[in-house]
Homo-oligomer: A and B are copies of this chain.
Amino acid sequence: MAPQTSETLTAERILEATEEVLRRHGPAKATVVDVARALGVSHGSVYRHFRTKAALREAVTKRWLDLTSQTLSGITADEGRAPEARLRDWLTALFEAKRRKAGDDPELFATYMVLTADSGTAVGEHLADLTGQLTSIIEAGVASGAFATADPAASARAVFHATGRFHDPGYSEVWERPGIEDDFTAVVDLLLHGLRPQRPS
């Protein structure tokens, strides 16, 4: 039952084992002892790499959140494409990524909802990263004349807040409802229209 490998015990291996234990047991019943058992070591060894259980949970959470950030950063960085198209694709990709995570493995998604709820700084940093990406797309749009705003960062926050229903985990149960695609499109259309200059000169 204890898949003892002879590799050295690294933070990375502990995170992998933690993820697996969380997947199997859920957030309420996953213990540090379980993680240590999965690795074939004593739980004291785990505490050598992570000062507390909370720190271990936060590290796993950060890892999970970074997956999404990295996917989106591809769109953000693609500076050849028109900012309007990039903004729409970015928001769509965010929605789709979240929806897929929630739909494909609801229990794991619920697990991460619990983890993010009491994660210290990881979620805040994740949100800052995402709004930063949005800001960069909007700035490109302002530079090209596609968008008009006095404060790209504020507009980025507004766009992010306004699309919360389509990426905030708290709404995950509505993501399966019929018509959600239309709702998403309606909001994005309205926001893109709102970002356009008043009268294209």
A: which residues have CB within 8 A of B? Answer: 154-155, 157-159, 161-165, 170-171, 182-183, 186-187, 189-196, 198-199
Contacts and interface: CB of A to CB of B under 8 A. Distances in A.
B170 A186 contact: no
A191 B189 CA distance: 10
Q: Is the interface of A mostly helix, strand, loop or mixed?
A: helix
A165 B159 CA distance: 12
A162 B163 CA distance: 6
Contacts of A192: 194
Contacts of A182: 154
A155 B112 CA distance: 33
Contacts of A161: 165, 183, 186-187
A149 B190 CA distance: 10
A181 to B, nearest CB: 13
B186 A157 contact: yes
Given A157-B183, A161-B165, 8 more contacts: A155-B190, A157-B186, A158-B190, A162-B163, A164-B165, A164-B171, A191-B191, A191-B194
